[in-house]
Structure 1
Amino acid sequence: MRPLEGLKILDLSRVLACPFASMILAEMGAQVIKVEQPVTGDETRHFEPRVTGENGSESAYFFAFNRSKQSITVNLRTPEGQKIIRDLAREADVFLENFPVDTLKKYSLHYDAIREHNSDIVYVSCTGFGMTGPYAPRKGYDTVFQAMGGIMSLTGERGGGPVKPGLPVADLTSGLWVVIAILTAVVGKDRSGHGCHVDFSMFDGQVGLLSLAAARYFTLGEVPARLGTEHPGRVPSAAFECADGRWVQITGSDQHWKPLCELLGLDQWAQDEVLAKNIERVKRRDEVMHGLQQAIGKLERARLCQLCDERGVPAGPILSVDEIFADAHVASRELVQRFAHPQVGEFEGIAVPFKFTGYDDPVMGRPPLLGEHTDHILMEKLGLTQEQIQGLRQLKAI
């Protein structure tokens, strides 16, 4: 048994953040019914990159965030489609949506309307800037939330301009926030006996990640500068280039300073009682960083990592994507798994990274074809006949 078996999620979300959240929950056992627009479906079904197999072409982007779900197509603009959603919501534990503020109110699918049919529902609204506040009507994408939420201002080389991370961090972390919100609300419902509405803003989620930057600002009034891979309050904590042109990230505390200096042949620094304290190394940041780079630049990456491991100095090679997926530890942890898809055949995906004792581990299922489960769900959940389903198709409700 997987830990979330029996949890029923009606998922009206699209694109990345919320589909990522519902996929995580699905692979831990929840039943996720993904509601899509007829004909076109979730817009990411048409995104690059494409993967082509013997029976067709599919979006690998869609695959990455929509495994293990059931797909039903419903036209929310029709009264019949709206009724289908309300009827499905009667039996759902969670209702997940990421439409712009008040969009679903036009279709009587907002929280108050759904709660009339299911008073225990956990209804999660994920919007760009929340349901209230001066920014509520604004539109945004991942990079806009990165920019306004602070992470771009903190990312980039010293003295350089802002840089976005190489992944859609605002989308991905928002997905994780949504998972936390859903699980928290479900536990709360079990204890209190009633559901709730969760108003989650992707902007709020990014501000919520500021953590150390906020602590420095609240404490020191400091607006952190961009430092590349360096840490504002710890030296060393940075990426260093090795003799072979490869890079290593070394992050050490006071107890690591002496062994690091010894393995690099910096014997004078190893005996320096002043530099043994991080606060002094921070004061002499440029000098220390220059000296470390000079010594590290004489060693190849593999040798440096070996020496650090032997002396207990926290360090790791900066791996490219191809190196990560060729890594023996990644293989041993089974982080890359496969699913069989009827259009493209075998395809790889990144597993949900949990290992349970006492429950079955997450299971990687394939992404659904568009509307693949429409008839089955309408018959099983709502008791409709084939004739009624055909009538809904003629009305373009599904």
Structure 2
Amino acid sequence: MRPLEGLKILDLSRVLACPFASMILAEMGAQVIKVEQPRTGDETRHFEPRVQGEHGSESAYFFAFNRSKQSITVNLRSEEGQKIIKDLAADADIFLENFPVGTLQKYGLHYDAIKKTNADVIYVSCTGFGMTGPYAPRKGYDTVFQAMGGIMSLTGERGGGPVKPGLPVADLTSGLWIVIAILTGMAGKDRSGHGCHVDFSMFDGQVGLLSLAAARYFTLGEVPARMGTEHPGRVPSAAFECADGKWVQITGSDQHWRPLCELLGLTEWATDEKLAKNAERVRRRAEVMGGLQQAIGKLDRSTVCEQCDERGVPAGPILSVNEIFEDPHVVSREMVQRFAHPQVGAFEGIAVPFKFTGYENPQMGRPPLLGEHTETILREKLGLTPAQIQGLNQLNVI
């Protein structure tokens, strides 16, 4: 048994943040019914990169966030489609949506409407800026939230312009916030006996990650500058280039300073009582960082990492994507798994990173074909006859 078996999620979301959240929950055992637009589906079904298989072409982007779900197609603009959603929602534990503010109210599928038939539902609304506030009507994408939420202002080299991270951090972290919200709502329902509405703003989610930058601002009035890979309050904590042109990240505290200096041949620094304290190393940042880079630049990355490991100094190679998936630890932990898809055959994906004792581990399932489960769900959950389903199809409701 997986830990979330029996949990039923009606998922009206698309693109990345919410689909990522519902995929995590699906692979831990929840039943996720993904509602898509007839004929076209989630727009990411048409995104690059494409996977070409023997029986067709599919989007690897869609694959990355929609495994282990069931897909039904419903036209939310039609009265018949709205009734289908309400009927399915009556039996759902979770109702998940990421439409612009006010859209589902026009369709009679907002929280107050769904609550009438299911008072226990955890209804999660994910919007760019939330249901209230001056920005509520605004649209946005991952990079907009990164920009406005602060992470871009903190990311980049000294003296350079703002840089976005190499992954859609606002989308991905919003997906994790949504998982937290859903599980928190379920835990609250177990205690209170009733459901709730969760108003989640992706912008709020980024502001909520500022943590250390906020602590420095609240304490020192400091607006953190871009520092590349360096840490504002710790030296050393940075990436260093090695003799072979590869890079290593070294992050140490006071107890790591002497062994680091010894392995690098910096004997005077190793016995310097002042430099043994982080505050002094921060004060002399330029000198210390220059000396470390000069010493590390004489050694290959593998040598630096091996010697750091031997002496207990926290360090790790900066790995490219191909190196990560070939890494023996990643292989041992089975972080890359495969599913079989009817269109493209075997395809790889990144596993949900949990290992349970007492439950089965998350299981990787394949992404659904568009509308693959429509007839089955309408028949088994709503009791519709083949003739009724055919009639809905002819009306372009499904």
Length-normalised TM-score, structure 2:
1.00
- Give 2:307's aligned residue: 307
1:257-303 Cα deviation digits (max 9, x unpaired): 00000000000000000000000000000000000000000000000
**2:86 is matched by which residue type in structure 1?**
R
Alignment-derived partner of residue 316 in structure 2? 316
- CA–CA distance in structure 2, aligned partners of residues 128 and 9 of structure 1: 22
Return the letter of the residue paired with 2:349: G
1:238-259 Cα distance to aligned partner (Å, 9 max, x none): 0000000000000000000000
Q: Is 1:261 aligned to residue 261 of structure 2?
A: yes
CA shift for structure 1 position 335 = 0.1
Where do 1:156-171 residues align within 5 Å? 156-171=156-171
Identity %: 86
Give the structure 2 partner of residue 245 of structure 1.
Answer: 245
| Deviation by residue 1:81-102 (Cα, 9 ceiling, x = unmatched) | 0000000000000000000001
- Match status 1:68 vs 2:68: yes
1:150-173 Cα deviation digits (max 9, x unpaired)? 000000001110000000000000
- SS for the counterpart of 1:382 is coil
Shift of 1:236: 0.1
Q: Please state if 1:209 is matched with 2:221.
A: no
For 1:278 and 1:161, the matched residues in 2 are separated by 28
C-alpha distance in 2 between matches for 1:338 and 1:396: 35
User: How many Å separate the matches in 2 of 1:189 and 1:94?
Assistant: 11
> Cα distance, 1:394 vs. partner?
1.2
Deviations 1:124-149 (A, max 9, x none): 00000000000000000000000000
- Once the two structures are TM-superposed, the CA of residue 190 in structure 1 deviates from its matched residue by 1.0
The reply to whether residue 78 of structure 1 matches residue 90 of structure 2 is no
Aligned counterpart, 2:13: 13
| Equivalent position of 2:226 in the other structure | 226
Cα distance in 1 for partners of 2:77, 2:321 equals: 42
Amino acid at match of 2:360: D
SS in 2 for 1:359: coil
Specify the code of the residue in structure 2 equivalent to 1:292. Answer: L
Counterpart residue type for residue 279 of structure 1: A
Q: Map of 1:1-398 to 2, 5 A cutoff?
A: 1-398=1-398
- Residue 130 of structure 1 aligns with an amino acid whose one-letter code is G
> Shift of residue 61 of structure 1?
0.1
Q: Secondary structure at the match of 1:369?
A: coil
Hey, what's the Cα distance between the residues in 2 that align with 1:38 and 1:179? 27
| CA offset digits 1:303-329 (Å, max 9, x no partner) | 000000000000000000000001000
Instruction: Give the 4+ runs in structure 1 shifted more than 4 A.
Output: none
- 1:115 partner letter: K
Deviation at 1:395, TM superposition (A): 1.2
Looking at structure 1, the residues matched to 381 and 92 of structure 2 have their Cα atoms a distance apart, in angstroms, of 10
Provide structure 1 residue ranges, at least 5 long, that are not aligned to the other structure: none
Unmatched segments (≥5 aa) in structure 2: none
The one-letter code sitting in structure 1 at the alignment partner of 2:70 is Q
Matched residue pairs, number?
A: 398
Q: Note the alpha carbon deviations across 1:310-363, whole angstroms, 9 max, x for none.
A: 000000000000000010000000000000000000000000000000000000
- Distance in 1 (CA, whole Å) between partners of 2:127 and 2:153 is 22
User: Tell me, what secondary structure is at the counterpart of 1:227?
Assistant: coil
Name the CA distance, whole Å, in 2 between partners of 1:380 and 1:273.
74
CA drift of 1:27 comes to: 0.1
CA distance in 2 between partners of 1:29 and 1:385 (Å): 29
Query: What is the distance in 2 between the residues matched to 1:361 and 1:192?
Result: 29
